[in-house]
Structure 1
Amino acid sequence: MTQPAPIVRLQDVRLDRGGRTILRGLDLSVSPGQVVAVLGPSGSGKSTLLAALTGELDAAAGTVEVFGRPIPTRHRELLELRKGIGVLLQGNGLLTDLSAAENVGLPLRAHTRLPKPVIERLVDMKLHAVGLRAARDAYPRELSGGMARRVALARALALDPPLMIYDEPLTGLDPIASGVVMALVRRLNDTLGLTSIVVTHHVHETLPVADHALVIANGGIVFSGTPEALQATTDPLVRQFLDGQPDGPIGFDAAPRTEAA
Protein backbone atom coordinates (compact mmCIF):
# COMPACT_ATOMS: atom_id res chain seq x y z
CA MET A 1 0.00 0.00 0.00
CA THR A 2 1.38 3.40 -0.98
CA GLN A 3 2.25 5.81 1.81
CA PRO A 4 0.23 9.05 1.94
CA ALA A 5 2.10 12.17 0.86
CA PRO A 6 3.59 14.07 3.81
CA ILE A 7 1.79 17.16 5.03
CA VAL A 8 5.14 18.80 5.80
CA ARG A 9 8.51 17.98 4.28
CA LEU A 10 11.88 19.64 4.77
CA GLN A 11 14.92 18.57 2.77
CA ASP A 12 18.43 19.75 3.75
CA VAL A 13 17.05 23.09 4.96
CA ARG A 14 19.21 25.90 6.30
CA LEU A 15 17.59 28.76 8.21
CA ASP A 16 19.33 32.10 8.77
CA ARG A 17 18.40 35.15 10.79
CA GLY A 18 20.31 38.41 10.83
CA GLY A 19 23.04 37.00 8.62
CA ARG A 20 23.70 34.08 10.97
CA THR A 21 22.83 30.43 10.51
CA ILE A 22 20.41 29.26 13.21
CA LEU A 23 19.62 25.75 11.91
CA ARG A 24 21.17 23.67 9.14
CA GLY A 25 20.78 20.24 7.55
CA LEU A 26 17.11 19.92 8.54
CA ASP A 27 15.29 16.88 7.17
CA LEU A 28 11.72 16.31 8.31
CA SER A 29 8.67 14.45 7.02
CA VAL A 30 5.31 14.71 8.82
CA SER A 31 2.63 12.25 7.73
CA PRO A 32 -1.11 13.04 7.84
CA GLY A 33 -2.69 12.38 11.22
CA GLN A 34 0.54 12.53 13.21
CA VAL A 35 1.23 14.54 16.35
CA VAL A 36 4.90 15.52 16.14
CA ALA A 37 6.71 16.99 19.15
CA VAL A 38 9.54 19.38 18.30
CA LEU A 39 11.57 19.60 21.50
CA GLY A 40 14.65 21.52 22.52
CA PRO A 41 16.06 23.97 25.04
CA SER A 42 15.23 27.68 24.92
CA GLY A 43 17.11 29.42 22.15
CA SER A 44 17.71 26.24 20.16
CA GLY A 45 15.83 27.46 17.08
CA LYS A 46 12.38 25.94 17.56
CA SER A 47 10.60 29.23 16.83
CA THR A 48 12.82 29.73 13.77
CA LEU A 49 11.64 26.36 12.46
CA LEU A 50 8.03 27.40 13.09
CA ALA A 51 8.57 30.63 11.14
CA ALA A 52 9.81 28.59 8.17
CA LEU A 53 6.74 26.33 8.25
CA THR A 54 4.35 29.29 8.12
CA GLY A 55 6.27 31.16 5.42
CA GLU A 56 7.32 33.98 7.74
CA LEU A 57 10.98 33.05 7.13
CA ASP A 58 12.37 31.90 3.79
CA ALA A 59 14.83 29.02 3.83
CA ALA A 60 18.38 30.07 2.97
CA ALA A 61 18.94 26.64 1.41
CA GLY A 62 16.98 23.44 0.82
CA THR A 63 13.23 23.07 0.31
CA VAL A 64 10.26 23.51 2.64
CA GLU A 65 7.01 21.95 1.43
CA VAL A 66 3.57 22.17 3.04
CA PHE A 67 0.57 20.29 1.63
CA GLY A 68 2.79 18.84 -1.08
CA ARG A 69 4.11 22.07 -2.56
CA PRO A 70 6.88 24.57 -1.78
CA ILE A 71 6.02 27.52 0.43
CA PRO A 72 4.83 30.19 -2.04
CA THR A 73 6.61 33.53 -2.29
CA ARG A 74 3.70 35.54 -3.66
CA HIS A 75 1.75 37.29 -0.93
CA ARG A 76 -1.71 36.25 -2.08
CA GLU A 77 -0.71 32.59 -2.45
CA LEU A 78 0.99 32.64 0.94
CA LEU A 79 -2.17 34.00 2.57
CA GLU A 80 -4.19 31.17 1.00
CA LEU A 81 -1.70 28.62 2.32
CA ARG A 82 -1.88 30.09 5.83
CA LYS A 83 -5.66 29.61 5.90
CA GLY A 84 -4.88 25.89 6.04
CA ILE A 85 -2.51 26.27 8.99
CA GLY A 86 -3.87 26.93 12.47
CA VAL A 87 -1.31 28.43 14.87
CA LEU A 88 -1.73 28.51 18.64
CA LEU A 89 0.57 31.24 19.93
CA GLN A 90 2.19 30.90 23.33
CA GLY A 91 0.80 34.29 24.38
CA ASN A 92 -2.75 33.36 23.24
CA GLY A 93 -3.15 36.64 21.33
CA LEU A 94 -6.73 37.10 22.52
CA LEU A 95 -8.15 40.62 22.16
CA THR A 96 -9.03 41.76 25.67
CA ASP A 97 -12.01 43.90 24.67
CA LEU A 98 -13.74 41.01 22.89
CA SER A 99 -15.59 38.09 24.47
CA ALA A 100 -14.46 34.50 24.01
CA ALA A 101 -17.06 34.00 21.27
CA GLU A 102 -16.06 37.22 19.49
CA ASN A 103 -12.39 36.20 19.59
CA VAL A 104 -13.16 32.78 18.11
CA GLY A 105 -15.29 34.36 15.39
CA LEU A 106 -12.55 36.75 14.22
CA PRO A 107 -11.07 34.47 11.50
CA LEU A 108 -14.55 33.62 10.22
CA ARG A 109 -15.52 37.27 9.94
CA ALA A 110 -12.20 38.20 8.34
CA HIS A 111 -11.86 35.37 5.81
CA THR A 112 -15.40 34.28 4.94
CA ARG A 113 -18.67 35.85 3.85
CA LEU A 114 -20.81 33.57 5.95
CA PRO A 115 -24.02 35.01 7.43
CA LYS A 116 -23.87 36.03 11.07
CA PRO A 117 -26.14 33.16 12.30
CA VAL A 118 -23.86 30.61 10.61
CA ILE A 119 -20.77 32.18 12.16
CA GLU A 120 -22.43 32.11 15.59
CA ARG A 121 -23.24 28.42 15.15
CA LEU A 122 -19.67 27.62 14.09
CA VAL A 123 -18.27 29.58 17.04
CA ASP A 124 -20.43 27.57 19.43
CA MET A 125 -19.20 24.35 17.81
CA LYS A 126 -15.54 25.36 18.21
CA LEU A 127 -16.03 26.41 21.83
CA HIS A 128 -17.87 23.14 22.50
CA ALA A 129 -14.94 21.22 20.98
CA VAL A 130 -12.61 22.70 23.63
CA GLY A 131 -15.16 22.35 26.43
CA LEU A 132 -15.92 26.06 26.84
CA ARG A 133 -19.29 26.78 25.23
CA ALA A 134 -20.57 27.97 28.62
CA ALA A 135 -17.84 30.64 28.67
CA ARG A 136 -18.76 32.17 25.30
CA ASP A 137 -19.65 35.57 26.80
CA ALA A 138 -16.67 35.77 29.17
CA TYR A 139 -13.81 38.18 28.51
CA PRO A 140 -10.14 37.08 28.55
CA ARG A 141 -9.55 38.75 31.94
CA GLU A 142 -12.29 36.54 33.40
CA LEU A 143 -10.68 33.30 32.21
CA SER A 144 -8.00 31.21 33.87
CA GLY A 145 -4.76 30.64 31.98
CA GLY A 146 -5.86 27.20 30.84
CA MET A 147 -9.28 28.44 29.73
CA ALA A 148 -7.74 31.33 27.77
CA ARG A 149 -5.41 28.87 26.04
CA ARG A 150 -8.38 26.73 25.04
CA VAL A 151 -10.26 29.75 23.66
CA ALA A 152 -7.17 30.57 21.59
CA LEU A 153 -7.17 26.96 20.39
CA ALA A 154 -10.83 27.24 19.37
CA ARG A 155 -9.96 30.37 17.38
CA ALA A 156 -7.03 28.60 15.68
CA LEU A 157 -9.49 25.87 14.63
CA ALA A 158 -12.13 28.29 13.34
CA LEU A 159 -11.32 27.83 9.64
CA ASP A 160 -10.94 24.03 9.95
CA PRO A 161 -7.22 23.96 9.10
CA PRO A 162 -5.80 20.51 8.26
CA LEU A 163 -2.48 21.44 9.92
CA MET A 164 -2.13 22.76 13.48
CA ILE A 165 1.08 24.25 14.85
CA TYR A 166 1.36 24.80 18.59
CA ASP A 167 4.02 27.30 19.71
CA GLU A 168 4.92 26.50 23.34
CA PRO A 169 1.27 25.73 24.24
CA LEU A 170 2.02 25.04 27.91
CA THR A 171 3.83 28.27 28.80
CA GLY A 172 2.50 29.67 32.07
CA LEU A 173 0.10 26.78 32.75
CA ASP A 174 0.01 24.67 35.91
CA PRO A 175 0.42 20.88 35.64
CA ILE A 176 -3.34 20.21 35.63
CA ALA A 177 -4.07 22.78 32.90
CA SER A 178 -1.07 21.47 30.94
CA GLY A 179 -2.48 17.95 31.04
CA VAL A 180 -5.89 19.18 29.91
CA VAL A 181 -4.43 21.12 26.98
CA MET A 182 -2.22 18.27 25.76
CA ALA A 183 -5.03 15.72 26.04
CA LEU A 184 -7.17 18.14 24.01
CA VAL A 185 -4.45 18.43 21.36
CA ARG A 186 -4.46 14.65 20.91
CA ARG A 187 -8.26 14.31 20.95
CA LEU A 188 -8.84 17.12 18.46
CA ASN A 189 -6.09 15.78 16.20
CA ASP A 190 -7.79 12.39 16.05
CA THR A 191 -11.45 13.41 15.96
CA LEU A 192 -11.02 16.24 13.43
CA GLY A 193 -8.49 14.41 11.24
CA LEU A 194 -5.74 16.98 11.79
CA THR A 195 -1.96 16.85 11.66
CA SER A 196 -0.26 18.60 14.57
CA ILE A 197 3.23 19.94 15.24
CA VAL A 198 3.87 20.86 18.88
CA VAL A 199 6.89 23.12 19.39
CA THR A 200 7.82 22.98 23.08
CA HIS A 201 10.44 22.42 25.75
CA HIS A 202 7.93 20.62 28.00
CA VAL A 203 9.07 17.05 27.46
CA HIS A 204 7.13 15.01 29.99
CA GLU A 205 3.75 16.59 29.26
CA THR A 206 4.11 16.34 25.47
CA LEU A 207 5.62 12.93 24.77
CA PRO A 208 2.59 10.89 25.98
CA VAL A 209 0.41 12.36 23.21
CA ALA A 210 3.03 12.39 20.42
CA ASP A 211 3.58 9.88 17.62
CA HIS A 212 7.02 11.19 16.69
CA ALA A 213 9.59 13.35 18.47
CA LEU A 214 12.42 15.60 17.33
CA VAL A 215 15.05 17.23 19.50
CA ILE A 216 16.71 20.39 18.21
CA ALA A 217 20.01 21.51 19.72
CA ASN A 218 23.39 22.86 18.64
CA GLY A 219 22.05 24.11 15.32
CA GLY A 220 20.28 21.02 14.03
CA ILE A 221 18.13 17.96 14.67
CA VAL A 222 19.99 15.72 17.12
CA PHE A 223 17.22 13.12 17.52
CA SER A 224 14.29 11.93 15.39
CA GLY A 225 12.21 8.92 16.36
CA THR A 226 9.39 7.58 18.48
CA PRO A 227 8.76 8.92 21.99
CA GLU A 228 9.72 5.48 23.34
CA ALA A 229 13.07 5.59 21.54
CA LEU A 230 13.67 9.11 22.84
CA GLN A 231 13.03 8.06 26.43
CA ALA A 232 15.43 5.13 26.02
CA THR A 233 18.26 7.02 24.30
CA THR A 234 21.73 7.08 25.84
CA ASP A 235 23.00 9.91 23.63
CA PRO A 236 24.73 12.32 26.07
CA LEU A 237 23.49 15.43 24.28
CA VAL A 238 19.85 14.32 24.24
CA ARG A 239 20.02 12.98 27.80
CA GLN A 240 21.31 16.33 29.01
CA PHE A 241 18.16 18.00 27.70
CA LEU A 242 15.76 15.30 28.86
CA ASP A 243 17.23 15.13 32.36
CA GLY A 244 17.76 18.88 32.78
CA GLN A 245 21.48 18.60 33.41
CA PRO A 246 23.26 21.98 33.59
CA ASP A 247 26.54 20.61 32.20
CA GLY A 248 27.01 18.62 29.03
CA PRO A 249 27.28 18.84 25.23
CA ILE A 250 24.61 21.56 24.97
CA GLY A 251 26.22 24.90 25.79
CA PHE A 252 23.90 27.25 27.61
CA ASP A 253 26.44 30.08 27.63
CA ALA A 254 26.26 29.78 23.88
CA ALA A 255 28.84 31.26 21.58
CA PRO A 256 27.51 33.38 18.71
CA ARG A 257 25.94 31.38 15.94
CA THR A 258 28.00 30.80 12.81
CA GLU A 259 27.92 33.21 9.93
CA ALA A 260 25.66 32.11 7.10
CA ALA A 261 27.47 30.27 4.35
Structure 2
Amino acid sequence: MTEAAPSIVHLRDVRLERGGRTVLRDISLDVPKGQVIAVLGPSGSGKSTLLAALTGELEAAAGTVEVFGRPIPRRNRDLLELRKGIGVLLQGNGLLTDLTAAENVGLPLRAHTRLPRPVIDRLVRMKLHAVGLRAAADAFPRELSGGMARRVALARALALDPPLMIYDEPLTGLDPIASGVVMALVRRLNDTLGLTSIVVTHHVHETLPVADHAIVIANGGIVFSGSPDALSASPDPLVQQFLKGEPDGPIGFDAAPRTEAA
Protein backbone atom coordinates (compact mmCIF):
# COMPACT_ATOMS: atom_id res chain seq x y z
CA MET A 1 0.00 0.00 0.00
CA THR A 2 1.05 3.63 -0.42
CA GLU A 3 3.15 4.65 2.56
CA ALA A 4 2.70 8.38 1.93
CA ALA A 5 -1.04 8.29 2.66
CA PRO A 6 -2.01 8.55 6.34
CA SER A 7 -3.54 5.39 7.80
CA ILE A 8 -7.19 5.61 8.82
CA VAL A 9 -6.98 2.11 10.32
CA HIS A 10 -3.82 0.59 11.80
CA LEU A 11 -3.54 -2.91 13.23
CA ARG A 12 -0.28 -4.41 14.43
CA ASP A 13 0.27 -7.95 15.70
CA VAL A 14 -3.38 -8.28 16.71
CA ARG A 15 -4.87 -11.41 18.22
CA LEU A 16 -8.65 -11.70 18.41
CA GLU A 17 -10.48 -14.23 20.54
CA ARG A 18 -14.07 -15.28 21.06
CA GLY A 19 -15.07 -17.49 23.96
CA GLY A 20 -11.44 -18.12 24.81
CA ARG A 21 -10.72 -19.42 21.31
CA THR A 22 -8.27 -17.62 19.03
CA VAL A 23 -10.06 -16.62 15.82
CA LEU A 24 -7.36 -14.43 14.24
CA ARG A 25 -3.68 -14.09 15.11
CA ASP A 26 -0.75 -11.90 14.07
CA ILE A 27 -3.00 -9.51 12.12
CA SER A 28 -1.17 -6.43 10.82
CA LEU A 29 -2.98 -4.06 8.47
CA ASP A 30 -2.82 -0.42 7.38
CA VAL A 31 -5.71 1.18 5.53
CA PRO A 32 -4.63 4.45 3.85
CA LYS A 33 -7.04 7.35 3.56
CA GLY A 34 -9.08 7.38 0.38
CA GLN A 35 -8.69 3.73 -0.58
CA VAL A 36 -11.17 0.89 -1.00
CA ILE A 37 -9.85 -2.21 0.75
CA ALA A 38 -11.35 -5.62 0.05
CA VAL A 39 -11.20 -8.04 2.98
CA LEU A 40 -11.85 -11.44 1.45
CA GLY A 41 -12.15 -14.91 2.85
CA PRO A 42 -14.40 -17.94 3.12
CA SER A 43 -17.35 -18.07 5.50
CA GLY A 44 -16.21 -18.52 9.09
CA SER A 45 -12.71 -17.25 8.43
CA GLY A 46 -12.97 -14.39 10.94
CA LYS A 47 -13.95 -11.45 8.74
CA SER A 48 -16.83 -10.41 11.01
CA THR A 49 -14.56 -10.80 14.04
CA LEU A 50 -12.16 -8.34 12.44
CA LEU A 51 -15.03 -5.88 11.93
CA ALA A 52 -16.00 -6.21 15.58
CA ALA A 53 -12.48 -5.16 16.56
CA LEU A 54 -12.55 -2.13 14.27
CA THR A 55 -15.82 -0.85 15.74
CA GLY A 56 -14.82 -1.51 19.34
CA GLU A 57 -17.35 -4.29 19.85
CA LEU A 58 -14.52 -6.74 20.53
CA GLU A 59 -11.34 -5.86 22.42
CA ALA A 60 -8.13 -7.32 21.04
CA ALA A 61 -6.52 -9.98 23.23
CA ALA A 62 -3.11 -8.72 22.07
CA GLY A 63 -1.64 -6.14 19.75
CA THR A 64 -2.64 -2.63 18.68
CA VAL A 65 -5.88 -1.50 17.03
CA GLU A 66 -6.04 2.17 16.04
CA VAL A 67 -8.76 4.04 14.12
CA PHE A 68 -8.33 7.68 13.08
CA GLY A 69 -4.84 7.68 14.58
CA ARG A 70 -5.75 6.63 18.11
CA PRO A 71 -6.41 3.39 19.99
CA ILE A 72 -9.98 2.13 20.21
CA PRO A 73 -11.37 3.72 23.41
CA ARG A 74 -12.96 1.62 26.12
CA ARG A 75 -15.12 4.28 27.78
CA ASN A 76 -18.67 4.11 26.41
CA ARG A 77 -18.90 7.84 25.72
CA ASP A 78 -15.61 7.94 23.82
CA LEU A 79 -16.49 4.78 21.92
CA LEU A 80 -19.82 6.31 20.86
CA GLU A 81 -18.01 9.36 19.53
CA LEU A 82 -15.63 7.14 17.56
CA ARG A 83 -18.52 5.17 16.06
CA LYS A 84 -20.13 8.35 14.77
CA GLY A 85 -17.20 8.55 12.36
CA ILE A 86 -17.71 4.98 11.11
CA GLY A 87 -20.56 4.16 8.77
CA VAL A 88 -21.52 0.48 8.76
CA LEU A 89 -23.62 -1.18 6.08
CA LEU A 90 -24.98 -4.41 7.53
CA GLN A 91 -25.64 -7.40 5.32
CA GLY A 92 -29.22 -7.60 6.62
CA ASN A 93 -29.82 -3.86 5.94
CA GLY A 94 -31.41 -3.34 9.38
CA LEU A 95 -34.16 -1.10 8.00
CA LEU A 96 -37.16 -0.55 10.27
CA THR A 97 -40.16 -1.91 8.41
CA ASP A 98 -42.69 0.58 9.76
CA LEU A 99 -40.65 3.61 8.62
CA THR A 100 -40.30 4.96 5.10
CA ALA A 101 -36.98 5.07 3.31
CA ALA A 102 -36.58 8.74 4.20
CA GLU A 103 -37.44 8.13 7.85
CA ASN A 104 -34.91 5.28 8.03
CA VAL A 105 -32.16 7.46 6.56
CA GLY A 106 -33.02 10.25 8.98
CA LEU A 107 -32.72 8.07 12.09
CA PRO A 108 -29.01 8.76 12.80
CA LEU A 109 -29.52 12.47 12.26
CA ARG A 110 -32.44 12.59 14.69
CA ALA A 111 -30.61 10.47 17.26
CA HIS A 112 -27.18 12.12 17.18
CA THR A 113 -27.73 15.73 16.15
CA ARG A 114 -29.88 18.67 17.19
CA LEU A 115 -30.47 19.86 13.67
CA PRO A 116 -33.90 21.36 12.93
CA ARG A 117 -36.37 19.21 11.03
CA PRO A 118 -36.11 21.15 7.72
CA VAL A 119 -32.32 20.70 7.69
CA ILE A 120 -32.63 16.97 8.44
CA ASP A 121 -35.20 16.58 5.67
CA ARG A 122 -32.88 18.28 3.21
CA LEU A 123 -29.91 16.11 4.24
CA VAL A 124 -32.03 12.97 3.88
CA ARG A 125 -33.00 13.97 0.34
CA MET A 126 -29.32 14.55 -0.46
CA LYS A 127 -28.31 11.11 0.86
CA LEU A 128 -31.08 9.37 -1.06
CA HIS A 129 -30.10 11.27 -4.19
CA ALA A 130 -26.50 10.14 -3.72
CA VAL A 131 -27.60 6.49 -3.98
CA GLY A 132 -30.07 7.17 -6.80
CA LEU A 133 -33.25 6.73 -4.75
CA ARG A 134 -34.62 10.20 -4.10
CA ALA A 135 -37.88 9.19 -5.80
CA ALA A 136 -38.30 6.33 -3.31
CA ALA A 137 -38.26 8.54 -0.21
CA ASP A 138 -41.84 7.69 0.80
CA ALA A 139 -41.61 3.95 0.07
CA PHE A 140 -41.57 1.40 2.87
CA PRO A 141 -38.88 -1.32 2.95
CA ARG A 142 -41.42 -3.98 1.87
CA GLU A 143 -42.03 -1.97 -1.30
CA LEU A 144 -38.35 -1.96 -2.28
CA SER A 145 -36.36 -4.53 -4.20
CA GLY A 146 -33.37 -6.11 -2.48
CA GLY A 147 -30.95 -3.82 -4.28
CA MET A 148 -33.00 -0.72 -3.49
CA ALA A 149 -33.25 -1.65 0.19
CA ARG A 150 -29.47 -2.12 0.30
CA ARG A 151 -28.99 1.35 -1.18
CA VAL A 152 -31.36 2.90 1.38
CA ALA A 153 -29.29 1.23 4.11
CA LEU A 154 -26.19 2.70 2.47
CA ALA A 155 -27.74 6.17 2.49
CA ARG A 156 -28.50 5.75 6.20
CA ALA A 157 -24.91 4.65 6.89
CA LEU A 158 -23.75 7.85 5.19
CA ALA A 159 -26.16 10.11 7.08
CA LEU A 160 -23.58 11.47 9.55
CA ASP A 161 -20.91 11.93 6.85
CA PRO A 162 -18.50 9.35 8.32
CA PRO A 163 -14.94 9.44 6.96
CA LEU A 164 -14.73 5.63 7.23
CA MET A 165 -17.23 3.21 5.70
CA ILE A 166 -17.35 -0.49 6.56
CA TYR A 167 -19.39 -2.82 4.37
CA ASP A 168 -20.27 -6.18 5.92
CA GLU A 169 -21.07 -8.60 3.08
CA PRO A 170 -22.86 -5.89 1.04
CA LEU A 171 -23.83 -8.27 -1.79
CA THR A 172 -25.59 -10.96 0.25
CA GLY A 173 -28.90 -11.87 -1.38
CA LEU A 174 -28.48 -9.58 -4.38
CA ASP A 175 -28.70 -10.58 -8.03
CA PRO A 176 -25.73 -9.85 -10.35
CA ILE A 177 -27.19 -6.57 -11.64
CA ALA A 178 -27.96 -5.23 -8.15
CA SER A 179 -24.52 -6.38 -7.01
CA GLY A 180 -22.90 -4.40 -9.81
CA VAL A 181 -24.91 -1.30 -8.92
CA VAL A 182 -23.97 -1.51 -5.24
CA MET A 183 -20.26 -2.02 -5.89
CA ALA A 184 -20.18 0.82 -8.43
CA LEU A 185 -21.78 3.01 -5.74
CA VAL A 186 -19.15 1.97 -3.21
CA ARG A 187 -16.39 3.14 -5.55
CA ARG A 188 -18.14 6.33 -6.68
CA LEU A 189 -19.15 7.44 -3.19
CA ASN A 190 -15.68 6.66 -1.86
CA ASP A 191 -14.13 8.94 -4.47
CA THR A 192 -16.68 11.77 -4.59
CA LEU A 193 -17.15 12.03 -0.80
CA GLY A 194 -13.49 11.50 0.10
CA LEU A 195 -14.18 8.36 2.11
CA THR A 196 -12.09 5.36 3.07
CA SER A 197 -13.88 2.04 2.61
CA ILE A 198 -13.38 -1.47 3.95
CA VAL A 199 -15.46 -4.07 2.11
CA VAL A 200 -15.70 -7.39 3.93
CA THR A 201 -16.99 -10.04 1.56
CA HIS A 202 -16.58 -13.46 -0.01
CA HIS A 203 -17.79 -12.14 -3.39
CA VAL A 204 -14.41 -11.93 -5.07
CA HIS A 205 -15.17 -11.20 -8.70
CA GLU A 206 -17.69 -8.43 -7.98
CA THR A 207 -15.43 -6.69 -5.43
CA LEU A 208 -11.93 -6.77 -6.90
CA PRO A 209 -12.70 -4.42 -9.85
CA VAL A 210 -13.50 -1.54 -7.46
CA ALA A 211 -10.78 -2.24 -4.86
CA ASP A 212 -7.37 -0.59 -4.52
CA HIS A 213 -6.00 -3.30 -2.26
CA ALA A 214 -7.06 -6.78 -1.21
CA ILE A 215 -6.33 -9.02 1.71
CA VAL A 216 -7.39 -12.64 2.12
CA ILE A 217 -8.11 -14.11 5.56
CA ALA A 218 -7.99 -17.87 6.02
CA ASN A 219 -6.78 -20.41 8.57
CA GLY A 220 -6.70 -17.80 11.34
CA GLY A 221 -4.60 -15.12 9.67
CA ILE A 222 -3.87 -12.95 6.64
CA VAL A 223 -2.61 -15.20 3.86
CA PHE A 224 -2.41 -12.52 1.15
CA SER A 225 -2.04 -8.73 1.02
CA GLY A 226 -1.57 -6.86 -2.23
CA SER A 227 -3.17 -5.40 -5.32
CA PRO A 228 -6.20 -7.06 -6.97
CA ASP A 229 -4.02 -7.92 -9.99
CA ALA A 230 -1.43 -9.56 -7.75
CA LEU A 231 -4.17 -11.54 -6.03
CA SER A 232 -5.50 -12.89 -9.31
CA ALA A 233 -1.97 -13.85 -10.39
CA SER A 234 -0.92 -15.38 -7.06
CA PRO A 235 0.46 -18.94 -7.36
CA ASP A 236 -0.30 -19.62 -3.68
CA PRO A 237 -2.42 -22.80 -3.61
CA LEU A 238 -4.39 -21.48 -0.66
CA VAL A 239 -5.31 -18.27 -2.53
CA GLN A 240 -6.12 -20.20 -5.68
CA GLN A 241 -8.38 -22.58 -3.77
CA PHE A 242 -10.38 -19.63 -2.47
CA LEU A 243 -10.54 -17.80 -5.80
CA LYS A 244 -11.65 -20.92 -7.67
CA GLY A 245 -13.99 -22.18 -4.96
CA GLU A 246 -12.35 -25.57 -4.80
CA PRO A 247 -13.58 -27.83 -1.97
CA ASP A 248 -10.22 -29.53 -1.43
CA GLY A 249 -7.03 -27.71 -0.57
CA PRO A 250 -5.09 -26.00 2.23
CA ILE A 251 -8.14 -24.11 3.52
CA GLY A 252 -9.88 -26.43 5.96
CA PHE A 253 -13.64 -26.57 6.45
CA ASP A 254 -15.44 -28.03 9.44
CA ALA A 255 -18.20 -30.43 8.51
CA ALA A 256 -20.59 -32.49 10.57
CA PRO A 257 -20.11 -36.21 10.11
CA ARG A 258 -22.61 -37.83 7.81
CA THR A 259 -24.77 -40.69 9.00
CA GLU A 260 -25.67 -43.62 6.83
CA ALA A 261 -29.34 -43.98 5.97
CA ALA A 262 -31.01 -46.91 7.65
What is the TM-score of this pair, normalised by structure 2? 0.96
SS at match of 1:11: strand
User: Which whole-Å CA distance do the structure 1 matches of 2:13 and 2:4 have between them?
Assistant: 21
Structure 1 residue 3, shift from structure 2 partner: 1.9
Q: Within 5 A, what are the aligned runs for 1:52-131?
A: 52-131=53-132
SS at match of 1:190: helix
Q: Cα deviations across residues 203-238 of structure 1 (Å, max 9, x unaligned)?
A: 000000000000000000000000000000010001
SS at match of 1:187: helix
Structure 1: give runs of 5+ residues left out of the alignment. 256-261
> Number of residue pairs matched?
255
What residue number does 1:259 align with? Answer: none
User: Which whole-Å CA distance do the structure 2 matches of 1:56 and 1:5 have between them?
Assistant: 24
What residue number does 1:252 align with? Answer: 253
Q: Cα deviations across residues 131-182 of structure 1 (Å, max 9, x unaligned)?
A: 0000000000000000000000000000000000000000000000000000
SS at match of 1:159: coil
What residue number does 1:138 align with? Answer: 139
Q: Cα deviations across residues 55-107 of structure 1 (Å, max 9, x unaligned)?
A: 00000000000000000010000000000000000000000000000000000
Structure 1 residue 253, shift from structure 2 partner: 2.1
User: Which whole-Å CA distance do the structure 1 matches of 2:254 and 2:125 have between them?
Assistant: 48
User: Which whole-Å CA distance do the structure 2 matches of 1:36 and 1:5 have between them?
Assistant: 14
Q: Within 5 A, what are the aligned runs for 1:153-172?
A: 153-172=154-173
Counterpart of 2:192, as a letter, is T
**2:41 matches 1:46:** no
SS at match of 1:178: helix
User: Which whole-Å CA distance do the structure 2 matches of 1:253 and 1:51 have between them?
Assistant: 23
User: Which whole-Å CA distance do the structure 1 matches of 2:98 and 2:42 have between them?
Assistant: 34
- Superposed CA RMSD: 1.2
Q: Within 5 A, what are the aligned runs for 1:142-221?
A: 142-221=143-222
SS at match of 1:105: helix
Counterpart of 1:102, as a letter, is E
SS at match of 2:253: coil
What residue number does 2:237 align with? Answer: 236
Counterpart of 1:211, as a letter, is D
User: Which whole-Å CA distance do the structure 2 matches of 1:51 and 1:254 have between them?
Assistant: 25
Structure 1 residue 5, shift from structure 2 partner: 2.1
What residue number does 1:222 align with? Answer: 223
Structure 1 residue 198, shift from structure 2 partner: 0.1
Structure 1 residue 252, shift from structure 2 partner: 1.1
What residue number does 2:259 align with? Answer: none
Counterpart of 2:254, as a letter, is D
SS at match of 2:7: coil
User: Which whole-Å CA distance do the structure 1 matches of 2:252 and 2:106 have between them?
Assistant: 44
Counterpart of 1:215, as a letter, is V
SS at match of 2:207: helix
User: Which whole-Å CA distance do the structure 2 matches of 1:178 and 1:153 have between them?
Assistant: 13
Q: Cα deviations across residues 19-62 of structure 1 (Å, max 9, x unaligned)?
A: 00000000000000000000000000000000000000000000
User: Which whole-Å CA distance do the structure 2 matches of 1:232 and 1:192 have between them?
Assistant: 31
Counterpart of 1:115, as a letter, is P
SS at match of 1:7: strand
What residue number does 1:258 align with? Answer: none
User: Which whole-Å CA distance do the structure 1 matches of 2:72 and 2:136 have between them?
Assistant: 37
Q: Cα deviations across residues 107-145 of structure 1 (Å, max 9, x unaligned)?
A: 000000000000000000000000000000000000000
Structure 2: give runs of 5+ residues left out of the alignment. 257-262
What residue number does 2:24 align with? Answer: 23
What is the TM-score of this pair, normalised by structure 1? 0.96
Counterpart of 2:120, as a letter, is I
Structure 1 residue 254, shift from structure 2 partner: 6.6
